[in-house]
Amino acid sequence: MTVRRLIALLAVALPLAFAASAHAYVYWGDYQAGTIGRANLDGTNVNDSFIHTGGTPLQLAINSSYIYWANEPGGTIGRAKLDGTQVEPAFITNNGKPTGVAVSSEYIFWSTVTGNIGRAKLDGTEQKPNLITGVGVPCGVAVDSGSVYWQSNVALKGVVGRAPFTGISPQTEFVKETGSTGSCGVAVNSANIFWANTGFLNSNATEIGRANATDGKAVNPSLIGDANGPCGVAVFGTQLYWPNKGNSTIGRANTDGTAVNESLINVGAGEICGVAVDSLSSPLIPPPSGEPGPSSGAGSGSGASPSPTPPPPTAGIVRVVKIAYDKKRGTARISVSINEAGAISITGKGLATAKASALGAGTVIVTVKASRGKRATLKATGKLATTANVAFAPSNGGAAARIERSLTLRREVSPGS
């Protein structure tokens, strides 16, 4: 074999030997059915009974080996392998009524209805059920590289607490006002803390809130303001996930609150609470045995393995965030949230077609006005009721998205006009 041929063969074989394709999943707890469900991140392959927990899973946590859940009525922390095997419903016992669970590289943390934050080693030993006490009524815990956070309700006021892994000198009101009194679920990344407001004590407050992770300030209780009873929240890269117990769906949005999709995953039934996301790697793919190497002969095949089929382009997601009317001009400014770069168009009976483009995911403001034939009517009556058809076509070739919103243009009518 010539040196040139050997190099060509290695160029084909080595990437195959060491490449691993990543697979990521989103999990949720169905405490009515006593199961943990799983689906692909794009919402496909939904399995609401991936793990039968033998209890009532309330909140979830994940590391590279296991998925953990809080079983409040049973007073236990359960766990199972990420492939759904080796289910241990009572991995940790006798710790009160756990309402949340989180894992670091060394510890498991949990919250209880009695106002405690507990801790144990990852193997379940060295349990400290009263690591932190007197934190109100916590429902959910989260960890970063050195701190544990909990969402709690203190004197009918929503707060987020924080403490080092040792539990020493806890800041029980690190975020002093979350704007909610019925929250359950907290997540954290390097920049922000997020929490879910289920609306348990206020049916109108079904939101995802956010604050700075460095100082607990810049509180925005309505980062995502139209969830449906969110019971838990998870952050994965630049995206948030939450379970809507109001309609049994999993929602998703960017961490800046844009590109909201309230029904990414339709679970179908049950009472869902708790969400977690992981990233798994498939086994290494060895080079094909006996496969011939590339040939330099003209007109002959290369002998290389076929390139993997690229994933389909991401489908468009569009959402109307806000509509602001200008009565002086008789126009409306529509704030549209989209998940990809692409083109936006707004049409409707009596409206002039309005268009805009975006270089990436985010919120775009589009101004719409009456068509030429309806401007006289608007000027004379001061009102034009119609339906705005909002369409978004991603630049990547993904499926277009369309929604409709009622729209009433108004214009000040001068006396005697």
Query: How far is Cα 109 from Cα 100, in angstroms, rounded to an integer?
Result: 8
Query: How far is Cα 70 from Cα 61, in angstroms, rounded to an integer?
Result: 9
Select from 139, 227, 135, 220 the least CA-distant residue to 179. 220
pLDDT for position 96:
80
Looking from the CA of 111 toward its CB, the CA atoms found within 13 Å total 32
Query: How far is Cα 174 from Cα 163, in angstroms, rounded to an integer?
Result: 9
Q: What is the mean pLDDT of the chain?
A: 82
pLDDT for position 313:
73
Query: How far is Cα 54 from Cα 91, in angstroms, rounded to an integer?
Result: 12
Give the CA dihedral 72, 77, 82, 85, nearest 10 degrees.
Answer: -100
Select from 350, 353, 361, 345 the least CA-distant residue to 393. 345
Inform me whether the pLDDT recorded for 10 exceeds 60.
no
pLDDT tens digits, residue range 184-242? Answer: 899 999 899 999 987 654 444 578 999 999 999 999 988 998 788 899 999 998 999 99
- Mean pLDDT for 149-158 is 82
pLDDT for position 302:
32
pLDDT for position 89:
94
pLDDT tens digits, residue range 32-91? Answer: 889 999 999 888 899 999 999 988 998 999 998 999 999 988 899 999 999 999 999 999
pLDDT tens digits, residue range 163-192? Answer: 999 999 999 999 988 876 677 899 999 899
For each of the domains in the chain, give its residue range(s) and CATH number, in order of start. Answer: 22-281 (2.120.10.30), 318-410 (2.60.40.1940)
Select from 168, 167, 171 the least CA-distant residue to 152. 171
- Quick check: 366 and 358 in contact, CB under 8 A? no
pLDDT for position 309:
52
What is the percent of the chain with per-residue pLDDT over 70, rounded to a whole number? 82
Looking from the CA of 91 toward its CB, the CA atoms found within 13 Å total 25
14 phi, psi to nearest 5 deg: -65, -45
Lowest mean per-residue pLDDT among 71-80, 227-236, 293-302, 329-338: 293-302
Query: Is 271 or 23 the better-scoring residue by pLDDT?
Result: 271
| Buried/exposed 244-259: b ≥16 CB within 10 Å, e otherwise | bbbebbbbbbbbebbb
- Mean pLDDT for 264-286 is 71
pLDDT tens digits, residue range 79-96? Answer: 999 999 999 999 999 768
Select from 228, 217, 225, 284 the least CA-distant residue to 251. 228
pLDDT for position 200:
56
Query: How far is Cα 354 from Cα 274, in angstroms, rounded to an integer?
Result: 41
- Quick check: 333 and 323 in contact, CB under 8 A? yes
Inform me whether the pLDDT recorded for 121 exceeds 50.
yes
Sheet strand arrangement including 66-71:
57-62, 66-71, 76-81, 88-92
Inform me whether the pLDDT recorded for 30 exceeds 60.
yes
